[in-house]
Amino acid sequence: MPTGELARGTVFDGRYEILEELGGGGMGRVFRVHDRKLEEEVALKLIRPEIAAERKAIERFKNELKIARKIAHKNACKMYDLGESGGASYITMEYVPGEDLRSFIHRSKQLTVATAVSIARQVAEGLSEAHSLGIIHRDLKPGNIMIDKEGNAKIMDFGIARSLLGKGLTGEGAIIGTPEYMSPEQVEGKEADQRVDIYALGVILFEMLVGSPPFEGETPFAIANKHKTEPPPVPKKLLPQLPEALNKIILRCLEKDQADRYQTADDLVAELTAFEQTLPSTDRALTRAKTKIRTSREITVKLTPKKLLIPAGIVLFLAIAILAALALFKPAGRKIDSIAVLPLADLSVKKGEGYSVDGIHDALINELCKIPAVTVIARQSVLRYSESKKDIPEIARELKVAGIVEGSVVQAKDTVRITVSLLNGPDGKRLWGPSSFDRNPTDVLTLYSEVALKIAREIDAKLAVLNINNLTQERRVKPEAYNLYYQAMYGRWQNPLSVEQGFKKKLELLEQTVEIDPDFALAHALTAMVLQDLALFGFYAPKSEAFQKARQAAQKAVMLDESLAEAHEALGSVKFNLDWDFDGFLREYRKAMELAPGRTVGSWATNLTVLGHFDEALALLKRMSESNPLYPAVPTWHLLMARRYDEAIASAKKSFEANPEDWYARMYLSNGYAFKKMCAEALAESQKILSGMPGFESDANALYQIAFNFAHCGNRTKAEELYDAYNKTGVADADPTALAWNYAPLGEKDLALDALEKGLEIRSPYLVYLKVDPMLDSLRDDPRFKALLKKVGFEK
């Protein structure tokens, strides 16, 4: 349908019934329409064909709209969607009954001081909300400000001006905006920040009071040039009765140099609010909506001695009723026991510089893990929503959370700003925010803690003194060191590298990190973990040197920051894997859990299991699944080690049903059957794996686990065949301890114990499984085995 035919009653795009045309502008024509899908009135702006034809501009606006839709403020018009029908592009937004400020000024000629200041303050409050999200209007003018029937101001068209900045519409160093309201830096085509909106609002305030903007001319160029070169007229000279304080506010907004203006909309709001307080109360009453509770008539009660003798029971009943009513209508707190932090938007002017936004997102999640009794969804599960178009309630249902945190990051040379909002998961309604937090780049670790503490208080989390101290502790880091740490942490470079090369690259990055910032505790903690991995995988020789360096790095991390959960995690890992100090591991693990109750690490569950703390390990796995619902932890192996075979079989079946290609699940299922002496089932499942399940042949350890099933069920020939295949992989050459898992099921006790004792000489990592692995049960009564348990540290 040609857009020129949009008469009243026409249904556009099968959804929008045209009610009336409201007007037009630089972008196109605007209509009041009835949205038949939402059953409400909205405004629909048809974009001019020459603009709609510039596809890059439309794509840019789609991206801007994603952010602009996050503005939720009474003084900002809500943006809804960008659509296309019959070749015509259009925008839908909130319909605001009333008139635009341009018409209001034209009709009134000149506004009173109280009315002008009230409108300016409301606009500044709306700008503050947008700026906190990193959104700059860039084309603020009276035509983009609606005044509703109650006198409330609403800013329109956020995100449009910036979208038009592109090839085909404007060029390099383009001027964008309306000449009468453009700041000097916009005239020069320079990069715009939030102060261009403050300048434009100063022009608008001038116009509301004087009746015309400060600069006028014959051509747009002449007007724009005056903004750049001429000082603005002094409002008080044109309006002698204007209060001097307001005169100064306007002139400060109109400073040519950005540094001399108000630096934030919040600063301007504070000045305008303070000025409003100096106005006579009668003037203020005209510009501020007030809620007044009125009774239908005045009620007078004359008390007499007789009336005072009301039975005490009635008085008590009334008192209880009043208290119950107060309790009933008391605003509900924001008690939220689970939250997800969606990926943060990078709204920085120069993206890719400063801190990694992914790193900031990860760090914020880690800080929130310090809040007790709150499940924080792991980053792995929320990453899939970085480009998702799903709404908040749908995301909340999938992640099984009560609250959603969303936000953005803006980085400049001397500032990192994080802006976050808290949304109610079930309905997506905003509970708090958006609220912004600024810090110098060196204080970014403290910034994360500040945001986490604020969220903790908003969700009514019960914080112990330890948690509060942890979240309020000042931590500093050099930006270049933090970025190197993040690279080492997530290793985006590692895909083309071997496992050994990957670990060594991590270590190289961490060595650079601590060289730049020797007091960066997180880097020392991660260094300890990487050195352990290098030693345990046999990639660092001599192994004893790696152990010693790992121990020193972990101790250094704890010394630098005793309240850092990661430091205690690293030290606990050293004590477990390198020192076989299992009591020491438990102390450090529990300290880490105390400092960051929501933090979960997969290796902790394994460590707890091999120590025989089965219930604690399974509870941890349950918490891990709750915090990572899209990638839940599987407890099958832990249940096998706990000899809870029926539960292990059920768990393996559940995993296998979810993913029929998961040969690990089938292998554990076959092991569960074997341990229960359900040999027909065990060998049937084993044969299915051997028949060619994808991936099985790439895991050498799987061979001995399948071989165990045949040995345990009496098929020695097949078991020996599989053990031979296992030995040819070279695993036993690197660590002779592995042979014990071959010999024990075949009844070769002495050979199995010889292999374990050789493992003791090289401090084999396999020995930590001695206490619980059912595959070694045939050795448990042997004195040599009991002696080994003591030497490894399992028995005193």
pLDDT digits (tens, 9 = 90+) for 250-259: 999 999 999 8
Question: Do the beta carbons of residue 719 and residue 703 sit within 8 Å?
Answer: no
Considering the candidates 13, 100, 139, 414, report the single residue annotated as catalytic.
139
Q: Say if residue 123 is in the same domain as residue 89.
A: no
Q: Given this model, what pLDDT does residue 289 score?
A: 35
Cα angle, residue 456 at apex, residues 450 and 458 outer, rounded to 5°: 105
307: exposed, middle or buried (Cβ count in 10 Å: 0-12, 13-18, 19+): exposed
- Locate tokens 């945190």: which residue? 405
How far apart CA 37 and CA 254 sit, in angstroms, is 45
Among 285, 306, 322, the domain-final residue is: 285
Mean pLDDT of 350-365: 82
Question: Do the beta carbons of residue 6 and residue 22 sit within 8 Å?
Answer: no
Who contacts 184 (Cβ-Cβ below 8 Å, separation ≥6)? 199, 227, 228, 256
pLDDT band at 517 (very low <50, low <70, confident <90, very high): very high
- Locate tokens 């009043």: which residue? 322
For residue 154 the two structure tokens come to 């609403």
Among 476, 497, 532, the domain-final residue is: 476
Q: Given this model, what pLDDT does residue 190 score?
A: 80
When the pLDDT of each residue in the chain is averaged and rounded to a whole number, the result is 83
Q: Say if residue 47 is in the same domain as residue 154.
A: no
Q: Say if residue 35 is in the same domain as residue 146.
A: no
How far apart CA 381 and CA 575 sit, in angstroms, is 31
Does residue 750 lie within any of the structural domains? no
Q: Given this model, what pLDDT does residue 305 score?
A: 38
Question: Do the beta carbons of residue 88 and residue 72 sit within 8 Å?
Answer: no
Question: Do the beta carbons of residue 780 and residue 749 sit within 8 Å?
Answer: no
Residue 294, pLDDT > 60, answer no
Distances (CA, A) of 408 to 357, 363, 417, 476: 9, 14, 8, 22
Q: Total domain count for the chain?
A: 3
Sheet bearing 153-155, strands edge to edge: 98-100, 145-148, 153-155
For residue 340 the two structure tokens come to 């997800």
For residue 423 the two structure tokens come to 């949304």
- The amino acid at residue 796 is K
Among 441, 476, 511, the domain-final residue is: 476
- Locate tokens 């004195």: which residue? 783
Q: Given this model, what pLDDT does residue 45 score?
A: 87
Q: Give the range among 346-350, 618-622, 752-756 with minimum mean pLDDT.
A: 346-350
Q: Say if residue 117 is in the same domain as residue 225.
A: yes
Q: Say if residue 60 is in the same domain as residue 202.
A: no
Residue 322, pLDDT > 50, answer no
Q: Which residues pair with 17 in a beta bridge?
A: 11, 34
Domain hosting 397: range is 338-476
Q: Does 139 participate in catalysis according to the annotation?
A: yes
Where is pLDDT greater, at 42 or 661?
42
Q: Say if residue 277 is in the same domain as residue 415.
A: no
Distances (CA, A) of 412 to 60, 134, 358, 437, 751: 22, 12, 17, 14, 66
Q: For strands 88-94 and 145-148, give the pairing.
A: unpaired
Cα angle, residue 88 at apex, residues 87 and 90 outer, rounded to 5°: 145
Query: Phi and psi at residue 439, in whole multiples of 5°?
Result: -150, 160
Q: Given this model, what pLDDT does residue 307 score?
A: 38
- What is the residue-wise DSSP string for 541-594? SSHHHHHHHHHHHHHHHHHH-TT-HHHHHHHHHHHHHTS--HHHHHHHHHHHHH
Distances (CA, A) of 206 to 223, 236, 325: 16, 10, 50
Distances (CA, A) of 39 to 6, 428, 670: 20, 19, 58
Q: What percent of the chain has pLDDT over 90?
A: 43
Does residue 463 lie within any of the structural domains? yes
Distances (CA, A) of 309 to 300, 312, 364: 18, 8, 63
- Taking residue 709's Cβ as centre, other Cβ atoms within 10 Å add up to 27
CATH number of the domain that residue 26 is part of: 3.30.200.20
For residue 598 the two structure tokens come to 């929501």
Distances (CA, A) of 402 to 233, 384, 412: 55, 19, 33
How far apart CA 650 and CA 656 sit, in angstroms, is 10
Does residue 605 lie within any of the structural domains? no
Q: Which of 621, 581, 628, 630 is nearest to 603 (CA)?
A: 621
Mean pLDDT of 674-696: 85
Does residue 589 lie within any of the structural domains? no
Where is pLDDT greater, at 400 or 702?
400
Cα angle, residue 192 at apex, residues 191 and 197 outer, rounded to 5°: 170
Render pLDDT for 384-403 as a digit per residue (tens, 0 to 9): 998 888 999 999 999 999 99
pLDDT band at 696 (very low <50, low <70, confident <90, very high): low
Does residue 590 lie within any of the structural domains? no
723: exposed, middle or buried (Cβ count in 10 Å: 0-12, 13-18, 19+): buried
Q: Say if residue 230 is in the same domain as residue 164.
A: yes
Question: Do the beta carbons of residue 188 and residue 257 sit within 8 Å?
Answer: no
Q: Given this model, what pLDDT does residue 747 score?
A: 93
Q: Given this model, what pLDDT does residue 713 score?
A: 93
Render pLDDT for 57-107 as a digit per residue (tens, 0 to 9): 677 677 667 767 777 788 988 888 888 887 788 888 888 888 889 888 888
Widest pairwise Cα distance in the chain: 108
Distances (CA, A) of 689 to 109, 208, 662, 666, 671: 86, 80, 10, 7, 12
Q: Which of 458-472, 481-495, 720-734 has the highest mean pLDDT?
A: 720-734
For residue 601 the two structure tokens come to 């690490």
CATH number of the domain that residue 411 is part of: 3.40.50.10070
Residue 636, pLDDT > 60, answer yes
Q: Which residues pair with 121 in a beta bridge?
A: none
Q: Given this model, what pLDDT does residue 306 score?
A: 40
Q: Say if residue 82 is in the same domain as residue 128.
A: no
pLDDT band at 341 (very low <50, low <70, confident <90, very high): very high
Residue 325, pLDDT > 60, answer no
Mean pLDDT of 172-200: 79
Residue 768, pLDDT > 60, answer yes
Q: Say if residue 254 is in the same domain as residue 129.
A: yes
Does residue 493 lie within any of the structural domains? no
pLDDT band at 5 (very low <50, low <70, confident <90, very high): low
Question: Do the beta carbons of residue 405 and residue 398 sit within 8 Å?
Answer: no
For residue 370 the two structure tokens come to 């310090």
Does residue 523 lie within any of the structural domains? no
The three-state secondary structure class of 331 is: coil
Where is pLDDT greater, at 252 or 293?
252
Q: Which of 239, 188, 233 is nearest to 213 (CA)?
A: 233
How far apart CA 487 and CA 494 sit, in angstroms, is 10
CATH number of the domain that residue 258 is part of: 1.10.510.10
Mean pLDDT of 611-622: 95
Whole-prediction pTM: 0.59
Render pLDDT for 522-577 as a digit per residue (tens, 0 to 9): 999 999 999 998 988 888 878 889 889 999 999 999 999 999 999 999 999 999 99
Does residue 442 lie within any of the structural domains? yes
Q: Say if residue 69 is in the same domain as residue 104.
A: no
Q: Which of 493, 468, 569 is nearest to 526 (CA)?
A: 569
Render pLDDT for 7-52 as a digit per residue (tens, 0 to 9): 888 899 889 999 988 877 667 788 999 988 878 899 998 887 777 6
How far apart CA 522 and CA 486 sit, in angstroms, is 10
Q: Say if residue 205 is in the same domain as residue 247.
A: yes
Q: Say if residue 21 is in the same domain as residue 89.
A: yes
